[in-house]
Amino acid sequence: MVSTPSPRSKTDRIALRVVNLRKQYANVTAVDDLSFTVRRGEIVGLLGPNGAGKTTTINIVLGVLRSTTGSVEIADIDIAKHRARALARTNFAAVYAALPGNLTVIENLRFFGLLYSVKSLRARIEELLQEFDLAHLRHTKCGLLSSGEQTRAALAKALINRPQLLLLDEPTASLDPSAAQIIRAKIQSLASQGDCGILWTSHNMYEVEAVCDRVLFLSHGKVLLEGDPRALPKEHGAATLEDLFIRVAREPLAGTMDGVL
């Protein structure tokens, strides 16, 4: 049985605002008129099958891709108009985006801290080494770390600049259940402080139900369902969040809303 997380310190301050986002590749529409927000102190799950548009959306928010139409604001800063200012307030971690393996943990943190012009960088690095239990690994090359250690190092890097928006793409995918639980607890603790909004993608519905305040189900680049992950299954006649995910994933684009709802 999944326990309901304790209430977090959510605010009306917007960490991320996505409005009418569209990404077109020739005859393929990867993201189709997508709009949503993430408040500070809130963890929002971005869910959907492979090809639903999750990674494209994240890459647009990160400034890696340019949207065809629509807008993205990070902490009320339009990324198209003020890219550097907006991205200075965000950070990212994913299982497929490993830190440079030839650099040690402390070298990686220093490198990214310098990129973000972090003030009092030495003190910030020490703080993160302690928080993520990496102090004894500070001089170990990241390529020699275990999966759990690499994930902790990647999260330390993702928090180096105290982001107002944190993007996490399958952050616990390579971890055993015990290590994944520790990482989830650290991220929930971060959200509870109320200064950072988190956009989280995962295919682990147990994890999503345990961690996320709200979820968005994507299919073919559109939001089909949105709501509390603990309430949505019952609202739509599904036994579990995983059953609802499977139903959404298998629905064709035409008539999807009628089929799911």
Residue 135, classed as helix, strand or coil, is helix
Residue 225 in any domain: the answer is yes
- pTM of this prediction? 0.88
Q: Look over the chain and give the mean of its residue pLDDT values, rounded to a whole number.
A: 89
Domain count of the chain?
2
pLDDT digits (tens, 9 = 90+) for 102-157: 999 999 999 999 999 999 999 999 999 999 999 999 999 999 999 889 999 999 99
Q: Looking at the predicted structure, is the pLDDT value of residue 55 above 70?
A: yes
Average pLDDT over residues 168-195: 88
Same domain, 84 and 170: yes
Question: Which pLDDT does position 7 carry in this prediction?
Answer: 45
pLDDT in tens, 175-187: 888 888 888 998 9
Mean pLDDT score, 205-218: 94
Say yes or no: 56 and 175 in one domain.
yes
Same domain, 171 and 76: yes
Q: Do residues 158 and 169 share a domain?
A: no
pLDDT at site 146:
92
Instruction: Supply the pLDDT for residue 255.
Output: 44
Q: Mean per-residue pLDDT for 30-58? A: 93
> E strands along the chain, which residues?
14-25, 28-39, 43-47, 69-74, 77-78, 90-94, 165-169, 197-201, 214-219, 222-227
* Residues spanned by the domain of 245: 14-89+165-260
From 131, 162, 193, the end of a domain falls on 162
Q: Do 125 and 234 share a domain, yes or no?
A: no
The residue from 112, 138, 162 where one domain ends is 162
Residue 193 lies in a domain: yes
In angstroms, rounded to a whole number, what is the distance separating the alpha carbons of residues 253 and 242? Answer: 19
Question: Based on the domain organization, do 78 and 172 belong to the same domain?
Answer: yes
Of the candidates 134, 162, 190, which is a domain's last residue?
A: 162
* Pair (251, 199) in one structural domain: yes
Whether residue 172 is found in the same domain as residue 235: yes
Q: Are both 204 and 232 inside the same structural domain?
A: yes
243 lies in the same domain as 173 = yes
The secondary element (H helix, E strand) that includes residue 147 is: helix 147-158
Q: What is the pLDDT of residues 71-108, one digit of tens each?
A: 999 999 999 999 999 999 999 998 888 899 999 999 99
Indicate whether 206 and 133 sit together in one domain.
Answer: no
Residue 134 is given by DSSP the state -
Question: Do both 80 and 170 map to the same domain?
Answer: yes
